[in-house]
Structure 1
Amino acid sequence: MALRDVLLSVAQTPHRLRRRALVTWTPAQELNEVRDRSGARMARRLEWYDLVGLGVGGMLGAGVFVTTGRVARDTAGPAVFASYVVAGVSALLSSFCYAEFAVRVPVAGGAFSYLRVTFGEFVGFFGGANILMEYVLSNAAVARSFTDYLASTCGVTEPNAWRVEVEAIAKGYNALDFPAVALILLLTACLCYSTKESSTLNMVLTAFHLLFFAFIIVAGFWNGSARNMVTPGGLAPYGVRGVLDGAAVVYFSYIGYDSASTMAEEIRDPARALPVGIAGSVLIVSALYCLMSVALCVMLPYTEITESAPFSSAFRDKAGWRWASNVVGAGASIGIVASLLVAMLGQARYLCVIARARLVPAWLAKVHPSTGTPMNGSARHQSRSSLSCR
């Protein structure tokens, strides 16, 4: 009897997989039946300004310090600010798509939930797997870069000075980064404590980071000259193609604007707060990136900009401010902490919703009653009605 049941189950496996792969969920089911698998519901404590802060904090990482110098020197010239404008418009249009989906399906799954509702479980599975890999690997890389910037702030020039090398592990993979691990554990503790308090911490870090950006912009214009923007080839020596190629590179600096959409379940007024928070953060960051790139290009001719640490080198070589490299390191460290905090916040929400879909262990979807809101009777009744009508 048992063997027959096993053989019958094996024979039915292709049909079950096909049915599971093609099944789609309605927004009503995502908001009720699927969400109720978490037990307690996420408390709605966030406002539109929390989303703006999370979006800005998620985007203002180290990307602008990495890409601006290389694009200005080799790809777009002084017109690198135009590359940021093109990339910003592209990110803004994408953010409108996220805002529309988030208002229609205000759950914590972000792109994963949108894929499940639109294309079904199969596409959602691959989307969810890619999203989780992206968050895990990028967060690890960002945490390791925090150690580099923090070391440079303290005047340590050797990148692996604060890492422990283990001989038993292959060369190149044997540098254990304990400061990065400590940062991850500290931020995890903050995120587990409360979403609202985590948003407040992000606000504080982002405020300091904005002051740091303001310092670079003001100091850059103060020590620069508009003559450095004029070249024999004009404002765009590499032409329109160079500006567009540069936009493709600097778009990396905008990664993170989608993190705000993962907070849709925790917003008091999603229909109003989500569009303002997602699009508003992209506009703010675009303005800052354009001003940063112009400040760099007025300080030095684009041919003299270095690819590595362009802002530190510009202050040291042009203004003679060697101490400014330490300020850049400190500001970048704060930005990395804020962007890592937002990324880990989004990663936890994605993991929760993917677990609701039972693509990973279901216990990962549970919301602790102390940080959530228990379901009321009407919500339970609505969930059962949704299940019976499916």
Structure 2
Amino acid sequence: MPEGHSSSIVRRLPPSEATNRWTGGARHGLPRAYGPMDLVVMGVGVMIGAGIFSLAGRQAATMAGPGVVLSFMIAGITSLLVAFCFAELSSALPTSGSAYTFTYVIFGEVWAWAVGWALVLELLLAGAGVSRVWSLYAAQLLTDLGVRFPEPLAPFIGRSEGFDLFTLFILLLMTGVITLGTRIGLRALRIIVAAKLLAIGAVIVVGVTHFDQRNLSAIPVPPAPAGPSVDALHSPLLGLLFGQPGAFGWFGIFAASAVITFAYIGFDVVATAAEEAEDAPLSVPKGIIRSLIVTTVVYIAVALVMVGMISYDRIDVEAPLANAFRAAGEGFMVHVINLGAVLGLTTVVLVLLVGLTRVMFSMARDGLFPRSLAKVDRRYHSPTRVTLLIGGVAIVVAEFVPVLTLEPLVVIGTLFVFVAVAAGVLRMRRTMPDLPRGFRVPFSPFVPMASIAACLWLLVNLQIITWLYFAAWMAVGLLVYLLYGRHNSVLAGNGQVPPSGPGLRGRHRR
């Protein structure tokens, strides 16, 4: 059956159509903005957030003990394997759709929709959740500095649930920055990333002076007996199958690595900037891999400092690193941590919203969402319509959904996409061997197969309730596709992409 057949099961986007978007023949085009170093800054900006100050401590205290350092290594290695796969596909198909477009070209429209729908889940929930955490840290920072909020406003600032003014503020601000164009957002990103790396460097340098290697001697911590609060739905699937639903031990280390994967989410967002990157087939793979390596080194360094400063059984889950510094007599570092968290989360919100904007822009350009959302504003050279829509939806989700409890859904959506990308490398090597690539996965097919295996391993360590929620989300997505996307896709008519008319070509290419 030919590629252009009207059946949505088999119709695929031609590779030339995906690459034309980058070379200038797009139906709706985005301007060049990102240089090679900008892509690294983008990756570091989205991957390093407040989790660097809290995630290691929480997982050490509740799941992995000092073995959380190994959990970070496992999650980092898994992410690096997948990053190689993203790098190859990005170099061959440099487009803003990232994994969604890769899947569209390689596997077909139905699978592309599933991946795109999972990306929407990942980026939307991550953006909404991070903005809520930004509010908590910003409120704490100002309180610690002696700032008092007006009494009528105080109940609506720094809340983990319910209407929150700071959450609304950061989402409005970042949506406005993105709407005004990529270059404005990029300047802000560079400055904030540099500032937060300075704060993290201070944490590492000061923390090392209080390091006690005896705190690492308990790797792995013996398994903890399951308490009365541990039920089947909230246990790691793998641990439940092997009769260890509780924490610690090697199962705890692997279960923690599945959650910690959340910290590395973001290198895939770099791929969404491919259409706006200079020399994308070469610069995007380098940006993905370099930003992930930098992030992994920084995370492991902070995790070592965290578990080296204080024994895992004395870690305060609410504010692990801050209280560790307090216990060490370094109270001033609490302000550094809070400032670093606020700066870190600001860039995370910015890049996540940029990534979601580009994914939905691409899906709209292909007709799976209303095509009017794919219009590029002539003044700001930005897809303002979809940006404003995403900003509005993110505000509603952040304010009215308990997003802080849905972090595992971000992880499962991400791992689902990772599996699709790794499988895409294997299939594209076989079906499109002559397609030009700026990067090739080393030791293929072993690295893509290892990527799939590692992601599946992390998936089975997620809680059963997370799987049920994800299944429900995908079921809703299938319904949306059947009712709208299947009939409105640009491939739905005669199986061919409409030609790029002069009124639809990218006008702002440099």
TM-score by length of 2: 0.64
Q: How does 1:51-66 map to 2 (within 5 A)?
A: 51-66=39-54
- For 1:64 and 1:33, locate their aligned partners in 2 and report how far apart those are by CA, in whole Å: 36
- For 1:322 and 1:161, locate their aligned partners in 2 and report how far apart those are by CA, in whole Å: 28
1:304-344 Cα shifts (integer Å, max 9, x gaps)? 11222110110112x22333223222211111101011001
Flag the 1:79–1:134 CA change in 2: closer, same or farther, 3 A.
closer
Does structure 1 retain, via aligned residues, the 8 Å contact 2:26–2:500?
A: no
- For 1:266 and 1:62, locate their aligned partners in 2 and report how far apart those are by CA, in whole Å: 28
Does residue 164 (structure 1) correspond to residue 156 (structure 2)? The answer is yes
Q: Tell me what 2:64 maps to.
A: 76
One-letter amino acid of the structure 2 residue matched with residue 86 of structure 1: I
- For 1:273 and 1:90, locate their aligned partners in 2 and report how far apart those are by CA, in whole Å: 22
Does residue 364 (structure 1) correspond to residue 373 (structure 2)? The answer is yes
Q: Tell me what 2:337 maps to.
A: 328
Q: Tell me what 1:349 maps to.
A: 358
Q: Tell me what 1:136 maps to.
A: 124
Aligned counterpart in structure 2 of residue 254 of structure 1, from 264, 273, 278: 264
Flag the 1:86–1:268 CA change in 2: closer, same or farther, 3 A.
same
Aligned counterpart in structure 2 of residue 103 of structure 1, from 85, 88, 91: 91
Unaligned stretches of 5+ in structure 2? 223-248, 383-497, 502-510
Flag the 1:114–1:221 CA change in 2: closer, same or farther, 3 A.
same
Q: Tell me what 1:271 maps to.
A: 281
Does residue 226 (structure 1) correspond to residue 216 (structure 2)? The answer is no
Q: Tell me what 1:298 maps to.
A: 308
One-letter amino acid of the structure 1 residue matched with residue 364 of structure 2: A
1:195-245 Cα shifts (integer Å, max 9, x gaps)? 1331221111111111111111111111222233334xxx43345444333
One-letter amino acid of the structure 2 residue matched with residue 205 of structure 1: I
- For 1:176 and 1:105, locate their aligned partners in 2 and report how far apart those are by CA, in whole Å: 41
- For 1:72 and 1:48, locate their aligned partners in 2 and report how far apart those are by CA, in whole Å: 36
| Aligned-pair CA distance for 1:51 | 0.6
Does structure 2 retain, via aligned residues, the 8 Å contact 1:109–1:354?
A: yes
Q: Is the partner of 2:143 in helix, strand or coil? A: coil
| Aligned-pair CA distance for 1:290 | 0.7
Structure 1 vs Structure 2 CA RMSD:
2.9
Larger Rg: 1
Does residue 42 (structure 1) correspond to residue 15 (structure 2)? The answer is no
1:319-372 Cα shifts (integer Å, max 9, x gaps)? 223332232222111111010110011111111101011111111111123454
Q: Tell me what 2:294 maps to.
A: 284
Flag the 1:134–1:86 CA change in 2: closer, same or farther, 3 A.
closer
Does residue 27 (structure 1) correspond to residue 11 (structure 2)? The answer is no
One-letter amino acid of the structure 2 residue matched with residue 280 of structure 1: R
Aligned counterpart in structure 1 of residue 107 of structure 2, from 116, 119, 123: 119
Does structure 1 retain, via aligned residues, the 8 Å contact 2:27–2:500?
A: no
Does structure 2 retain, via aligned residues, the 8 Å contact 1:32–1:383?
A: no
Q: Is the partner of 2:59 in helix, strand or coil? A: helix
TM-score by length of 1: 0.82
One-letter amino acid of the structure 2 residue matched with residue 289 of structure 1: Y
Q: Tell me what 1:148 maps to.
A: 136
Greater displacement, 120-129 / 208-217: 120-129
1:44-98 Cα shifts (integer Å, max 9, x gaps)? 2311111100000000012233321122234333232222111111001111111
Q: Tell me what 1:185 maps to.
A: 172
Does structure 2 retain, via aligned residues, the 8 Å contact 1:37–1:366?
A: no
Q: Tell me what 2:508 maps to.
A: none
Unaligned stretches of 5+ in structure 1? 1-15, 166-171, 374-380, 385-390
Aligned counterpart in structure 1 of residue 201 of structure 2, from 193, 197, 214: 214
Aligned counterpart in structure 2 of residue 236 of structure 1, from 220, 228, 246: 220
One-letter amino acid of the structure 1 residue matched with residue 340 of structure 2: G
Does structure 1 retain, via aligned residues, the 8 Å contact 2:181–2:381?
A: no
| Aligned-pair CA distance for 1:382 | 8.3
Flag the 1:220–1:350 CA change in 2: closer, same or farther, 3 A.
same
From the two aligned structures, give the one with the greater helix fraction.
1
One-letter amino acid of the structure 1 residue matched with residue 309 of structure 2: M
- For 1:117 and 1:163, locate their aligned partners in 2 and report how far apart those are by CA, in whole Å: 50
Does structure 2 retain, via aligned residues, the 8 Å contact 1:355–1:365?
A: yes
